Structure 1
Amino acid sequence: MHGPGSASWLLVALCAASGAYCLLRMRSRVEEQRRTAGGEALMGFGMALMAVPAAVLAPPSGVWGAYVAVFAAAGLRAAWTARHRPHHAHHLVGAAAMVYMSAAMLLAPGAGHGAAGVPALTGALLLYFTAHVLASGARLVPVGAAVTPEAGVVSWADRPELALVCRLAMSMAMIAMLLTL
């Protein structure tokens, strides 16, 4: 997952900022925001740690095993939640991608795809996250005045468009990480 220094640090900053905002969303008055925020914060901070340049922090191989366990547990929780809320399937795919990348680093640290080409699972994940980025970006395009005077002041933790921006940013970061795998 460790790419060029400046790109890695940009990924670290992007993912850490997304994780921090997700922690803020855990204080939301909207139950659905609180329900998803913890898993998204875990994903953001996990991706930030994974993107730290190897020259700065070269984790021992045992760390990758811990990543596999943590994100497998997050994936199980996302699968359980997605049974009743199908829109949570994105969290399941994200956790599966983290398990896949962590397992790849555990089994062959530092080895890229090389001459073997891109494995089918990596390609499928790249297609999924690219589609998610395009769909999320399209939903952010304003279609008219969305201000409702009766809604009052909305706190930072309750802004659905900012939650969508966090998901968009983490999907873009996932693409970058999958490309460097």
Structure 2
Amino acid sequence: MHGPALVNWLLAALATGSGGYCGWRVRQGRKDASCGGDRPARRESDLLEAAMGLGMAGMALLPGVAWGWPYALLAAALLVGALAGRGAGLRAHRLHHGIGALAMAYMALAMTAGAPGGHAGHHGEPAGLPMVTGLLLVYFGGYALWEGSRVIAADGAMVAAPLPRACRAAMGIGMFAMLLTM
């Protein structure tokens, strides 16, 4: 990414931690109320969140077009799956992850396109399309606030299974931070 090195490393640590936790949850295979207790849907969501977190960490430290193509294919599969999926919850998860994968592909391609040596946006030039970047910033900023607000109940007490929600909020914040560097 094009921010200060410390910010890139902190973003990579946040994304690795969130992605690693989601990967651990895939291996545990326990039922969890945060995804309605539906084991296949929870496993799919955890697997996608692990892939997004580890991909975000990689992009923060080693930006390049190589990250864009796998996430573009993942976005296409998820968006088609969201249209064809059964159950509103599964469709919503796939749609959200499809938007996330599309944002990852967009960032990877926008930051390497149009500049010699693959460093678009380096000297004050914005990378990508400002309208698309702005819409993604609104989406992920809103998502981070919404998911973060679900970690704490109205009476100030922690809700059941707060860590998965906190990880999702952290991933939303990470995507927002990555988009800001464009």
TM-score > 0.5, shorter chain as reference: yes
TM-score bracket, shorter-length normalisation: 0.7 to 0.9
116 and 180 in structure 1: CA distance in 2 versus 1, 3 angstrom threshold: closer
Match of 1:132 among 124, 143, 151: 143
Contact 2:11 2:60 survives alignment (8 Å): yes
Aligned residues: 161
Alignment partner, residue 12 of structure 1: 12
Greater Cα offset, 164-173 or 137-146: 137-146
Whole-Å separation in 2 of the counterparts to 1:96 and 1:168: 18
Distance (Å, rounded) in 1 between the aligned partners of 2:101 and 2:153? 30
Preserved CA contact (<8 Å) 1:25 1:33: no
Partner amino acid for 2:173? Answer: M
Letter in 1 for 2:121: G
Change (3 A) 1:135 1:146: closer
RMSD between aligned residues: 2.4
Q: Which whole-Å deviations, capped at 9, do the CAs of 1:51-97 have from their partners, x for residues lacking one?
A: 11xxxx5x6xxx51x32221012112321332322322110110110
Q: CA deviation at 1:173?
A: 0.8
Among candidates 71, 92, 100, match of residue 94 of structure 1: 100
**Normalising by structure 1, what TM-score?**
0.79
**Aligned mates of 1:146, 1:170 — CA distance in 2:** 19
Structure 1 unaligned segments of length 5 or more: list them. 148-158
Structure 2 counterpart of 1:121, from 129, 132, 138: 132
Gaps of 5+ in 2: 32-38
Q: Which runs of 4+ in 1 moved over 3 A?
A: 113-118, 143-147
For 2:134 and 2:108, the matched residues in 1 are separated by 16
- Residue 35 of structure 1 aligns to which amino acid in structure 2? E
| Partner of residue 178, structure 1 | 179
Structure 2 Cα separation of the partners of residues 170 and 73 of structure 1: 20
What SS class does the counterpart of residue 140 from structure 1 fall into? coil
Query: 1:3-22: CA deviations, max 9, x gaps?
Result: 10111111010000011001
Superposition TM-score, scaled by structure 2 size = 0.78
Percent identity over paired residues: 43
Task: Indicate the SS of the match to 2:150.
Answer: helix
Compare 20-29 and 78-87 and name the one that shifted more. 78-87
The structure-2 alpha-carbon separation of the partners of 1:116 and 1:36, relative to structure 1 and needing over 3 Å to count, comes to closer
- In 1, distance between residues paired with 2:147 and 2:56? 19
Tell me if the contact between 2:152 and 2:158 (Cα under 8 Å) persists in the aligned partners: no
Return the offset for 1:175: 0.9
For residue 175 of structure 1, what is the amino acid of its counterpart? Answer: F
Alignment of 1:60-79 (within 5 A): 63-64=64-65, 66-79=66-79
Counterpart of 2:55 in structure 1 is 46
